[in-house]
A and B are shown apart, each in its own frame.
Chain A
Amino acid sequence: MNWTGFDTWIVIIGALCAAACALPGCFLVLRKMSMMGDAISHAVLPGLAIAFLVTGARASVAMFIGAAIAGVLTALFTQWITRFGNVDRGAAMGIVFTTLFAIGLLLIRQAADHVDLDPGCVLYGALELTPLDTVTLGGIAIPRAALVNGIVLLLNLGIIGLLYKELKLTSFDPDLADTLGYSSQFLHYLLMTMVAVTTVAAFESVGSIIVIAMLIVPPATALLLTHDLLKMLLISVAAAVLAAVCGHIGALIVPGWFGFESTTTSGMIALASGLIFALAWLFGPHEGIVTKWRREAAIVPEPAPITNNSTT
């Protein structure tokens, strides 16, 4: 393995992006809306396409805005169809994002003759190439992706820090929140906007796979390990960062095992997060499968009556 400064930047960008996604992801998982990340990351395609057709440049601010609008619209349309049509939310989400994705594909295909915008590029991103695109900040050259994802991470941290109590309340008991005067509707859309902005920021720089995986898998891992929201947030960020580090190392090593040349870091980060989840699932201190087996095995062979149970 040949580690360079390039690799360090890739890991930093991956970790920033993963952490930025894991934070709002915790609330999505708690609200039983895990699939929203997937839906939004597909549905932003028409937003990207329209902004691209209008401005004619990749990675512009317009593209970011277009995608964020498309993302918020996904949440809005899903809500409308669910409410007015009396439709299951999963189904509503499925209809909205597939339709938007199809419109995006059509737009891109129509424009394919005279512009260079590949849906594959948008969907997978190229984390490996991000360090090449730098901006100079205070005399130091920083990859633009690191800057963007860092800002999004800070933004998410700030919003969750400020509205921690409100987000917690609306996630667990929206009706109580409404009666206490906190608008669960408003917080729902705020969260959706957060997810959309995070998705798009990550999307545009590192591709959607990381986003979809990091919104769900680290929070799910954390949920297996703790029952406390604050701990859950911390654990999921830690799991996300760990996945980013292991993922990139994996991307450098694993293809060699099978005699291939290279692979995508994003895919390997998703795989790494899955493996971390599997570890938590097997060996979690309270609910791990193996832990439970061992606990049961330790209890069963002792038929002797319990004598001193006064302490428990």
Chain B
Amino acid sequence: MPDLREIVEVLLLQNYNTRLVVLSTTLLGIAAGLVGSFLLLRKRSLMGDALSHATLPGVAIAFAAMVALGGSGKSLPGLLLGATLSGIAGVATMLVIRHTTRLRDDVAMGFVLSVFFGVGVASLRMVQSMPGASAAGLESFIYGKTASMVHADFLLISIVAGLSSLTCLVFLKEFLLLCFDDGFAASQGWPTLFLDILLLTLVTAVTVIGLQSVGLILVIAFLITPPTAARFWTQRLVPMLLIAALIGGMSGWLGASLSALTPQLPAGAVIVIVAAALFLLSMLFAPVRGVIPRRVQQGRLRRKVDRQHLLRAAYEILEVQAGDGPVVNEPFPLADLLAKRSWSPLQLRRILRIARHEDHLEIAAPGLIRLSESGYGEASRATRNHRLWETYLIQYADIAPSHVDRDADMVEHILGAKLVRQLETYLSDHDLAHRVPPSPHPLEPSARP
């Protein structure tokens, strides 16, 4: 096990051996986070998947060409140039299939992925049998090999990552438009095809530099996972880009450091697992769109809706009980409540328990329920909102009195104080300010005959 000093050294980039690796994967993560965000919003996340597979024939052919020209065949810029060219060929094939056939995006991607990868593996195998040259290192492009990075490679990776990030920021507005409404962008005269190609070029660039450090399968995760995680934290593009870059950078930094500290762990895999862990945390706990906060919010809303339905049902029962006289708060039978809505007895018992806990009602006698003072107030308020909305629908939306109940049932819970005041002025009935207006339709099912 590495001791604490070593860990701090690696994390703070003070260790000479690992500094380059950690720094370059961090930069790569940032660039991939930015570029991947646009891919995600364009619903083309798997484009990175297709593209990264499509680079493989280029790697093999570039190697063969360099060996044939008398070189060593393993110069990184040469291999990456080959990868870029064949990636571009893959993108072109995808675009051609999309525009000339009725096959969809996913089929075009799958086609390019499988055929190019097949060709790549076939040519890699051919190249490996080349006389006089060992191509043993080429397979590291599939699984990634960070340890073999030299200074020139690092420079190349940082320059490409920097340029890609910069391009993303420069074309922020254009990409935003492209992602959210490409039809509108085209109608406004923006060159959408050019923008699309530019975006895919950026993806190719990030994928190609990712090949060396994390490998062609795991670079896909760099493009997909951080942006998807960032999406849980915000609804706005710029914060999303920043968070995606942060998550991508953090995965690269932590993952590469962790793998540098333990020689048994391959960097690519560790980076992906770190990114996946960050994704899982975001998905569960992010306050804006995370699963758990959303569940809590939904639960709160459901309880509120249940409570208001219960209290309004109680109030309407009291109205029927009172007949033509004024409504008074007196005990009423539980069975009436059950008949009011499509509650199952179990549901009703749960709702009643919560209402009792909140002091809105009490059990007067077995089977008899009485609203508390606060419950009665809340009940008349809920009923009043419901009736106001019904009256509004009848007067302004020309809906028949027999049809407004259900609509009002859904809207009543979100009527704020401001809206209620507005309704009161619209309906210009001074009496409304004080009392609960009568229901515009017969109350059904009415309490017992």
Contact = CB atoms under 8 A, between A and B. Distances in A.
Contacts of A120: 139, 142
B42 to A, nearest CB: 10
Nearest to A220: B107
B118 A266 contact: yes
A119 B143 contact: yes
A84 interface: yes
Nearest to B122: A267
Contacts of B399: none
B264 A213 contact: no
A120 B121 CA distance: 10
A31 to B, nearest CB: 9
Interface of B: 40, 43-46, 48-49, 97, 100-104, 106-107, 109-111, 113-115, 117-123, 125-127, 129-130, 139, 142-143, 217-218, 220-221, 223-225, 227-228, 231-232, 264-266, 268-270, 272-273, 276, 279, 283, 289, 291
A255 B358 CA distance: 80
B356 to A, nearest CB: 33
Contact residue range for chain A? 35 or more
Nearest to A275: B115
A192 to B, nearest CB: 16
A48 interface: no
A251 B103 CA distance: 29
Given A84-B291, A270-B115, A90 B268 contact: no
Given A101-B217, A271-B119, 15 more contacts: A84-B291, A94-B46, A98-B225, A102-B273, A103-B269, A209-B114, A220-B107, A220-B110, A251-B122, A255-B126, A260-B127, A260-B129, A261-B126, A271-B122, A281-B100
Contact of A287 (B102, B223, B264, B273): B102
Interface of A: 29, 32-35, 37-38, 42, 81, 84-88, 90-95, 98-99, 101-103, 105-106, 109-110, 119-120, 123-124, 209, 212-213, 215-217, 220, 223-224, 251, 255, 258, 260-264, 266-271, 273-274, 277, 281, 287, 289
Contacts of B97: 281
A263 B121 CA distance: 8
27 contacts: A29-B107, A34-B109, A34-B110, A38-B49, A38-B110, A85-B232, A85-B289, A90-B43, A90-B45, A91-B227, A93-B46, A94-B45, A94-B48, A94-B225, A95-B228, A98-B224, A98-B272, A109-B264, A212-B117, A216-B111, A216-B114, A217-B111, A261-B129, A266-B121, A267-B122, A274-B118, A277-B111
Contacts of B103: 220, 223-224
A155 B272 CA distance: 36
A230 to B, nearest CB: 19
Contacts of A258: 126
Contact of A217 (B114, B125, B142, B218): B114
Contact of B45 (A88, A102, A223): A88
Contacts of B121: 124, 209, 264, 266-267
Most A C-beta atoms less than 10 A away, residue of B107, B114, B289: B114
B271 to A, nearest CB: 8
Contact of B101 (A91, A273, A281): A281
B46 A109 contact: no
Nearest to A269: B118
A84 B295 CA distance: 10
A262 B128 CA distance: 9
A94 B111 contact: no
B218 A101 contact: yes
Nearest 4 A/B pairs, CB to CB: A270-B118, A267-B122, A274-B115, A98-B221
A268 B122 contact: yes
Nearest to B43: A88
A102 B218 contact: yes
A223 B276 CA distance: 36
A90 B223 CA distance: 12
B14 to A, nearest CB: 27
B221 A99 contact: yes
B86 to A, nearest CB: 14
Contacts of A88: 40, 43, 45, 228
A212 B121 CA distance: 13
Contact of B110 (A35, A87, A119, A266): A35
